[in-house]
Amino acid sequence: MLFPDYRPRRLRQNQALRRMIRETVLTVDDFVLPLFAIGGKNVKNPIDSMPGHFQLSVDQLLKTAKKVHESGIPAVMLFGVPDKKDALATSAYAKDGIVQKAVKTLKDSFPELLVITDVCLCQYTDHGHCGIVDGHSVDNDATLDLLARTALSHAKAGADMVAPSDMMDGRVAEIRGILDDNGYSHTPIMSYAAKYCSYYYGPFRAAADSAPKFGDRRTYQMDPANSTEAIREVTMDVEEGADIIMVKPALAYLDIICRVRQEIDLPVAAYNVSGEFSMIKAAGKMGWIDDQKVMMETLTSIKRAGADIILTYFALEAAEILNGMG
């Protein structure tokens, strides 16, 4: 098909035509909004590098959850900011931990809202790493039990889904086993299966107070240069019992999302991370871009690449536009 016999512009002449042949359609059903829970009452600490986002005490969390529910967004992802930290991350799996309290309150108030919990230890350890430290190394196998206990504590609190983000080898199987053994075989696991060691996480680490106190996470998070390794990671998690596979970050890893979508028949999630959010917001504030339009283009690109689920700090803003209110 060559010009002048074929003219692609014929089908771009007006909005109605463009809508009719649009291949990728973004909806509020695609979104999960990440939230940061912190102790206290009436706490709403602004996150400077993430405009419009806050560390929220449980009472304030309910107000945001109400907006999420009313917008039609189906789910939130909960991260905890604990009052205390120690070498064994005991706040992560405590019955009265911040995430456990937040989950129970959210489910009591909004039973239809899907509450997903991040399962990791970095926010809860005094060294900021995602597992138990032996010297300056993270002990993979010693960490698995604590991750499993954390996931179980979230399920007991009422979490609809758990999402291990630590990147320890074997953690999906360990979590699946403890959930099944304790009567939570119905609780799905959304695995951060291909999580890269990325500099796009900076704003999040400030929000969650989770930056490592020494070294970095290159020994357990993936090398940004690798693609085939992502398929090995994803395949391992599928075989261990993951129900949903996540790629993180999203925007700089669209090729990974696409490849995972082609090779794996489970639902694929992608995390539009804090750095991706903050860059768009900062450029919009400077007047260099139309941040609302770039936001929608970015989210569409993530879905076009193959993501069924998009975790994004843009969720409420995008929902307003999609619902015709923006």
Q: Which of 195, 281, 293, 303 is catalytic?
A: 195
Sequence-distant (≥ 6) Cβ neighbours of residue 8 within 8 angstroms: none
- Token representation of residue 127: 């060294």
Sequence-distant (≥ 6) Cβ neighbours of residue 314 within 8 angstroms: 272, 277, 295, 298, 299
Contact between residue 116 and residue 203 where contact means Cβ atoms under 8 Å apart: no
Reduce the DSSP state of residue 75 to 3 states and report it: strand
Contact between residue 37 and residue 58 where contact means Cβ atoms under 8 Å apart: yes
CA torsion sign, 192 to 198 to 200 to 204?
Answer: positive
Q: Are strands 114-119 and 75-81 parallel, antiparallel or unpaired?
A: parallel
Residue 195 annotated as catalytic: yes
Residue 84 annotated as catalytic: no
Q: Which of 101, 248, 281, 303 is catalytic?
A: 248
What is the C-alpha radius of gyration for the chain, rounded to an integer number of angstroms?
20
Active site residues: 195, 248
